[in-house]
A = this chain, B = another copy of it.
Amino acid sequence: MADVAGDGAAADAVTGSGRAGGPNPIELIAVSIRRERERTGLSMTELAKRAGIAKSTLSQLESGTGNPSVETLWALGVALDVPFSRLVDPPRPVVKVIRAGEGPVTHSERADYSATLLASCPPNARRDIYRIEAQPGEARTSDPHNPGTTEHLLLSAGRALVGPAEDPVELAPGDYIAYPGDTPHIFRALAPDTAAVIVMEHT
């Protein structure tokens, strides 16, 4: 069986600003702007034009000079199509894959209750929660989603073959799997009334 992949580490990254406490927001914004801009492949000139601000302003922002107003930042957020908070909160770690059957269990003081941490959320990730119900049949191959997407799946009932298209894993009720959502992957019910929870994480 598999394994665990990744991380362990991730998770935290705490340093950032769990609360608003710590570091210099201007620095943060400077690197965030640049990061997001380069991610979209826009030039300063182009981005400034789209956001409706002067490119000199943008230049100063990315150089860490200045102290932008909310409207300026907002305009940039819109132009970059990122949520506002992405520009003011610290960056993010990576993708991680944990395979359960077991895992870090925190047993209750009473023996009839146990909780297992399956996936600690990386900062700034967005996780949408889905319920899946399926019947046996052909494998359902999903097209890859956006880059940086991770799918977390926990099987509630039935049996299923899940994971990367070239290397899926058979799951029984209670099993958990996480795998990259930006590569081809499948979900194939092996038993009637197979049900699962999928948490789709995109960053």
Interface residues of A (CB under 8 A from B): 17-21, 25-26, 29, 67-71, 73-74, 77-78, 80-86, 88-89, 98, 100, 103, 108, 110, 112-138, 140, 152, 154, 156-157, 173-174, 176, 187, 189, 195, 197-199, 201
Contact = CB atoms under 8 A, between A and B. Distances in A.
A21 B78 contact: yes
Q: Is the interface of A mostly helix, strand, loop or mixed?
A: mixed
Nearest to A26: B70
**Nearest 5 CB-CB pairings of A with B:** A85-B85, A112-B135, A20-B77, A156-B156, A121-B126
Contacts of A78: 19-21
A54 to B, nearest CB: 16
A37 to B, nearest CB: 14
Given A123-B126, A132-B113, A133-B113, A71 B82 contact: no
B154 A174 contact: no
Contact of A124 (B71, B85, B98): B85
A178 to B, nearest CB: 9
Nearest to A122: B126
Contacts of A132: 113-116
Task: Give the residue among A130, A157, A173, A189 with the most B Cβ atoms within 10 A.
Answer: A130
